Amino acid sequence: MGRVRRLLTRPIVMGIVGVLVVAVGLGVYWFQPWKLWVDETVKESVPVATGAPGDGTARTLASGELISHEHTTHGTVRVLQLPDGTRTVRLENLDTSNGPELKVLLSDAPVKEGRAGWYVFDDGAHVSLGALKGNKGDQNYAVPADVDLGRYRSVSIWCDRFDVSFGAAALSRP
């Protein structure tokens, strides 16, 4: 026991232990592994316009089905326009993994299956609609008024930390 105590009190060993503790701490912060076991469910209603002409019902401008990329991802994406002119990207029945720094991106990139589609959504024109509210459920993301939806053909659940798509949907216009 005395030999181990002497070894552990040597400056070089204490330095190595300190570096290892810092490295593990940074790794835990960077990867946030606990998110793999924590689901966040969001249940937002379809948005309706109040005080606008008509009944306030949203019109679907585009839609698509999410496909899996880095993580298994399912659900539907709809781009809605309310009678007052505001637009919303709506994720319905979303089911994906949780992760660090997940965003909802509108992108001009085509949706490709497999690894070919994992990294493309931030290469060209793209707009972040904000942080993913939850990895499960129904949720709405406001589209800024100055965004030209004609430029964008896909929506991605994007992990900013690792620059990878968890899943994406090609937008089809009716």
Query: What was the pLDDT predicted at 81?
Result: 96
Q: Which residue has the tokens 């994007």?
A: 158
Tens-digit pLDDT string for the chain (174 aa): 667 666 667 777 666 766 666 655 555 555 666 566 688 999 999 998 766 566 668 999 999 999 999 999 999 999 999 999 999 999 999 999 998 899 999 999 999 999 999 999 989 999 999 999 999 999 999 999 999 999 999 999 999 988 999 999 999 998
Tokens read off for 122: 């931030």
β partners of residue 67: 168
Query: What was the pLDDT predicted at 79?
Result: 98
Tokens read off for 83: 């009678």
SS3 content of the chain, % helix, strand, coil (to 5): 25, 35, 40
Query: What was the pLDDT predicted at 12?
Result: 74
Q: For the whole model, what pTM was predicted?
A: 0.80
Among residues 106, 71, 101, 67, which one has the least CA distance to residue 90? 106
Query: What was the pLDDT predicted at 99?
Result: 86
Q: Where are the beta strands (DSSP E) in the chain?
A: 41-43, 59-65, 67-68, 74-81, 87-95, 102-107, 126-131, 136-143, 154-159, 164-170
